[in-house]
Amino acid sequence: MARRTPLLACLLTFLALSASSAAAQEDDMAATMAAWQKAGQPGVQHQHLAALVGTWDAETKFWMDPSAEPMASTGTIEYRMVMDGRYLEEVITSEIMGRPFKGRGLYGYNNVTGELEAVWIDDMSTGIYWYSGSINEAGDEVSLKSKYIDPITKEWRNTRSVMRISSDKLHYESYETFDGQERKTMEITGIRK
């Protein structure tokens, strides 16, 4: 009988540890699921982005040379929310230097990092532009920074953009740094249709 007691005690200890390990794993799983649900839940910042949904008439100005008059064009911007209100999709149709132009952006507020993130593609390049920044508490100003490789110099170029939003108007400005000096390279004024 004395020999069975240690074996039974070991078995009972193993079962108790297994049960507590399973309970800890269930607690970990519940905490993991709660964290993922919180990370994936659209919030106030996503509602701010949704305020842009609709079609906008757009006037765009480009400055290739800061001392020269900008090139101007008109077009449309369409915004819509995708993935159940988690992301804002942007489609721009316009004209640049006398040729048709199409571009597409995707904006999202990352609940985990607390940052606004965006990507941009268009039919004048083969690169994907990555942005990060913020949307203010009122939801009426978006600030983003990015960098890209200049196709002429093959060097990284820093960019900064600011978009100010009201119910019927948006104003977007983009700046780039040349030789240590920041200058405006693009401006878009949008009027809601």
Token pair of 140, please? 């009426």
Whole-number Å distance between alpha carbons of 152 and 14: 68
Q: Residue 132 — φ and ψ, nearest 5°?
A: -145, 155
Confidence grade of residue 66 (pLDDT, cut at 50, 70, 90):
confident
Q: What is the pLDDT of residues 153-188, one digit of tens each?
A: 898 999 999 999 999 999 999 999 888 899 999 999
Q: Report the topology of domain 44-192.
A: Lipocalin (2.40.128)
59 vs 150, higher pLDDT? 59
- Looking at residue 98, its pLDDT comes to 85
Query: 187: which 2 tokens?
Result: 């401006």
4 pLDDT more than 60:
no
Three-state DSSP at 122 gives strand
Sign of dihedral through CA atoms 77, 150, 177, 183?
negative
| pLDDT bracket for residue 24 (50, 70, 90) | low
Residue 1: CB atoms within 10 Å = 4
39: pLDDT confidence band, cut at 50, 70 and 90?
A: confident
Is-contact 79 188, C-beta < 8 A? no
Residue 3 pLDDT exceeds 80: no
- Dihedral, CA atoms, 65, 126, 123, 83, nearest 10 degrees? -120
Whether the pLDDT of residue 146 is over 90: the answer is yes
- The mean pLDDT value of the chain amounts to 90
- What value does the mean pLDDT take over residues 25-49? 87
Contact (CB, 8 A) for 58 and 72:
no
pTM score, whole prediction? 0.82
Average pLDDT, stretch 30-35? Answer: 83
Distance of CA 23 to the CA centre of its chain: 38
pLDDT at 81 exceeding the cut of 80: yes
**d(Cα 173, Cα 150) in Å, to the nearest integer?**
19
φ/ψ of 40, rounded to 5, equals -95, 5
Per-domain residue ranges of the chain:
1-39, 44-192
